[in-house]
Structure 1
Amino acid sequence: MTDPYMTGTAGQDEAGATRQSEEERRRERRLAAVAGAERVLARTGVHRTVGRRLADLLEAAPGVYDLDQPVDVYGNRIVADLEQRVAALLGTEAAAFFPTGTMAQQVALRCWADRTGNRAVALHALAHPETHERHAFSQVSGLRPVRVTSEPRLPTAAEIRDLAEPFGTLMLELPLRDAGYVLPAWEELTGAVEAARERDAVVHFDGARLWETTPHFGRSLAEIAGLADSVYVSFYKSLDGFGGAALAGPGTLVEEARTWRHRYGGMVFQQFPTALSALVGLARELPRLPEYVRHARVVATALREGFAEARVPWARVHPEEPHTHEFQVWLPYDADVLMDTALRQAEETGTYLFGGYWARGGPGLAYTEVSVRSEGLQWSAGDVRAAVAGFVERLP
């Protein structure tokens, strides 16, 4: 999609700049509301100040790493220790740290393309590389995305078997974020993997949020990751780290990936703050994710009940029972109206029920993403229903 703020006449540029300014003001207002609210369902690192983030890291760091160790240089020491920790958790031979998930997945998939002799990557139309990376696969890595389906669910085994053209790699995003953080059943996932194998393709998991999938599947991280030939995981999406990612898989693949990481500009001189925050996330957030998932289901039920009691037409929670600790809420109002209503409720009451952005889902229809983390564990079902009532009262 072309950026509307980067094209057009001078008048259009001025209008675009105004829209940008309005969005920036709303973003700052939203961040201030999250920071100032007494009650939120989640408050991640992006909602904290630099000083608070550094203080939190220094407080937690001694419990996860020996701070008297020398700092890292080009990926050794603490970074290598983090890589070993990830490989052990995922049950793989090795893992390599990357500064971004976009880089990690491009490297993984181009390595598989060289090995299979096929640069086509079968994926979902809503997969992250298709919707959020400015066509990086094709523009940077020479890969060719092939869409398996656009349905709001993971591809089925039948769709993979019946895909009309050959492909070298099947990429599955677990969970599929833009469809509502949805996951398949375990049998559906294993069937999809088997269908790819039948077509002599390798399987790569976009597991940016793989950490939060164990309650849904009822399997360990190693069992889930073991279905794929390679897996990418993020350190900030579920674990609230500063950033960074890891690519895990066979030792030979990971060693080749390190070479391409250097070529892509990912050989960073020192990364100990990011690596340390990832270790903190693995120690502190990873064990709590199942609790977040369980409580997200309580929150989702209470949201549905609250909107039903308020008689809001066509209010939806998707999925009705969340697969992870994150899910979508859909309401029949304009996105700007819903954003302003959420902000007013936070500023007037100190309760910020919907702290995320509202996106347009169609004429007069919008949705937001809800995340339940440690702060949300303090909310009872009654608290959620009361917050819904206060939110609806402020709708025009």
Structure 2
Amino acid sequence: MGDTADRSTRTSEQEPSGPVSEDERRGRRWERRRRASRSARRVLARSGLQRTIRQRLALLDAADEVYDLDESVDMYGDGVVAALEAKVAGLLGKEAAAFFPTGTMAQQVALRCWAGRTGNPVVALHAEAHPEVHERGAFSQVSGLRPVRLTDEPRQPTAEEVRDCEEPFGALMLELPLVGPGHLLPSWEELTDLVEAARERDAVVHFDGARLWESTVHFDRPLDEIAGLADSVYVSFYKSLDGFGGAALAGPSTLVEEAKAWRHRYGGTVFQQFPTALSALLGLERELPRLPSYVRHARVVAAALAEGLAAAGLPWSRVHPEVPHTNEFQVWLPYDADTVAEAAIRTAEESGTLLFARAWNAPVPGLAVTEVDVRAPGLEWSAEDVRTAVADFVVRLREEAGRAGGRTGP
């Protein structure tokens, strides 16, 4: 659908005159994907990362709906920050909550405090848990904690693995959902068994609930009942709720008071945080009630994606999990990741429809995987819309694979 000028511009971006490094090539592709996301007429989700500063600041135009803007600004955690903490504690059914600038800090502080209470710095967790994959060894390097991996299988740990762990641990940390293998949640029965197994080991239970907000449909339970299984819970304000950033740690009031002391020591007691706190309150007001509809529609989108990929005649494809546990899930294709990424961006540039907005990764050569996120814009897509978009994408995928000489499909 793009004209000749569009194709010429795209070609010059794809094929710079001189050699470029791998990082530069990826950077250019990331920028093209971001521009395509901003200009696309149809998307399944729009995240804060894909918007301009002006667009993000516009979020605060409605801030007076959630807090009295004639109140004094916050200073070192009072005012609007304290109001946000009270709101989160109530939603999660906990005695208290503490605001943190990052989840990395919140979880280190939580587990450090629990280690002092249990006398055991060992944290049992999944090999794909966020601290193990994305935090540069922060548990051991910064907080004196020692992670022990329960499993590296692409699923949640089992109660048997908790019971059979070879050494004592002070805390069991469960990431809900477990993002790396596909935003996976256990069943409610499996979750209660996991918690019971930890109790049998005299361990506390901490939920890495960065995206816990999205879990209520799968568990068919309210947030406070889910959070009530754990001794402490961390939640994020930007991953699901579209806030500017920030996190909260919720749990017993004595733990939270100690956590605030450690927050200060870690440099997390920031002078003023009202923009982030207001964006979090807006997220709780606006996005939190919508999340169940996103999860339910993600199941419609996932089924239509699978149908569309099968109808396109690809040799193999996978939507995982087949029935999404949250509003995010994975798509796997038997092509080189660069080839698929280029096809996805071209589709958006030329058709105005962005089906795959996130990066494609290569777990092994010849396979590509991405995450699909369904939010408010995605509610406008019917199953037929998804199947049509898949067919359009596959046309370009085959073109790109042919150019690259690495075509796997027919």
**Does the 8 Å contact 2:363/2:369 carry over to 1?**
yes
Equivalent runs, 1:76-225 vs 2, <5 Å:
76-225=78-227
Alpha-carbon shift at residue 388 of structure 1 (Å): 0.4
Equivalent residue, structure 2, for 1:34: 37
Structure 1 residue identity aligned to 2:158:
T
SS at match of 1:393: helix
Equivalent residue, structure 2, for 1:325: 327
**Does the 8 Å contact 2:59/2:279 carry over to 1?**
no
**Does the 8 Å contact 2:337/2:368 carry over to 1?**
yes
Equivalent residue, structure 2, for 1:62: 64
Equivalent runs, 1:274-313 vs 2, <5 Å:
274-313=276-315
From 269, 272, 275, give the equivalent of 1:273. Answer: 275
Alpha-carbon shift at residue 125 of structure 1 (Å): 0.4
Q: Which runs of 4+ in 1 moved over 6 A?
A: none
Normalised by the size of structure 1, how large is the TM-score?
Answer: 0.95
Distance in 1 (CA, whole Å) between partners of 2:159 and 2:27 is: 43
Structure 2 residue identity aligned to 1:22:
R
Structure 2 residue identity aligned to 1:368:
T
Structure 1 residue identity aligned to 2:118:
T
Equivalent residue, structure 1, for 2:9: none
Alpha-carbon shift at residue 27 of structure 1 (Å): 1.2
Equivalent residue, structure 2, for 1:252: 254
Aligned pairs, how many? Answer: 381
Equivalent residue, structure 1, for 2:48: 45
SS at match of 1:179: coil
Alpha-carbon shift at residue 26 of structure 1 (Å): 1.2
CA offsets per residue over residues 202-258 of structure 1, 9 Å max, x none? 000000000000000010100000000000000000000000000000000000000
Supply the RMSD in Å over aligned alpha carbons. 1.1
1:335 matched to 2:337? The reply is yes
Structure 1 residue identity aligned to 2:120:
N
SS at match of 1:238: coil
SS at match of 1:200: coil
From 263, 266, 271, give the equivalent of 1:264. Answer: 266
Equivalent residue, structure 1, for 2:74: 72
Alpha-carbon shift at residue 150 of structure 1 (Å): 0.9
Equivalent residue, structure 2, for 1:20: 23
Alpha-carbon shift at residue 314 of structure 1 (Å): 1.9
Distance in 1 (CA, whole Å) between partners of 2:47 and 2:60 is: 13
Equivalent residue, structure 2, for 1:7: none
Structure 2 residue identity aligned to 1:162:
D
Alpha-carbon shift at residue 56 of structure 1 (Å): 2.4
Distance in 1 (CA, whole Å) between partners of 2:331 and 2:311 is: 16
SS at match of 2:362: strand
SS at match of 1:361: coil
SS at match of 1:359: coil
Alpha-carbon shift at residue 376 of structure 1 (Å): 0.3
Structure 2 residue identity aligned to 1:233:
V
Alpha-carbon shift at residue 105 of structure 1 (Å): 0.1
Distance in 2 (CA, whole Å) between partners of 1:199 and 1:255 is: 26
CA offsets per residue over residues 242-289 of structure 1, 9 Å max, x none? 000000000000000000000000010000000000000000000000
Distance in 2 (CA, whole Å) between partners of 1:334 and 1:106 is: 37
Unaligned runs of at least 5 residues, structure 1: 1-15
Alpha-carbon shift at residue 17 of structure 1 (Å): 7.9
Structure 1 residue identity aligned to 2:161:
E
Structure 1 residue identity aligned to 2:283:
G
Unaligned runs of at least 5 residues, structure 2: 1-18, 402-410
The change in CA–CA distance for 1:25 and 1:254 in structure 2 (over 3 A counts) is same
Equivalent residue, structure 1, for 2:7: none
CA offsets per residue over residues 117-155 of structure 1, 9 Å max, x none? 111100000000000111111111111000001111111
Structure 1 residue identity aligned to 2:23:
Q
Distance in 2 (CA, whole Å) between partners of 1:313 and 1:224 is: 40
Distance in 2 (CA, whole Å) between partners of 1:175 and 1:146 is: 19
Identity of aligned residues (%): 72
CA offsets per residue over residues 325-368 of structure 1, 9 Å max, x none? 00000000111111100000000000010000001121200100
Equivalent residue, structure 1, for 2:11: none
Distance in 1 (CA, whole Å) between partners of 2:286 and 2:389 is: 29
Distance in 2 (CA, whole Å) between partners of 1:350 and 1:214 is: 33
Distance in 1 (CA, whole Å) between partners of 2:216 and 2:254 is: 27
Structure 2 residue identity aligned to 1:347:
E
CA offsets per residue over residues 190-212 of structure 1, 9 Å max, x none? 00000000000000000000000
Alpha-carbon shift at residue 179 of structure 1 (Å): 1.0
CA offsets per residue over residues 50-102 of structure 1, 9 Å max, x none? 111111221x2121111111110000000000000000000000000000000
Structure 1 residue identity aligned to 2:47:
T
Distance in 2 (CA, whole Å) between partners of 1:164 and 1:312 is: 45
SS at match of 2:257: helix
Distance in 1 (CA, whole Å) between partners of 2:271 and 2:60 is: 20
Structure 2 residue identity aligned to 1:34:
S
Distance in 2 (CA, whole Å) between partners of 1:17 and 1:112 is: 48
Normalised by the size of structure 2, how large is the TM-score?
Answer: 0.92
Distance in 2 (CA, whole Å) between partners of 1:220 and 1:76 is: 28
Structure 1 residue identity aligned to 2:31:
E
Distance in 1 (CA, whole Å) between partners of 2:394 and 2:363 is: 19
SS at match of 2:206: strand
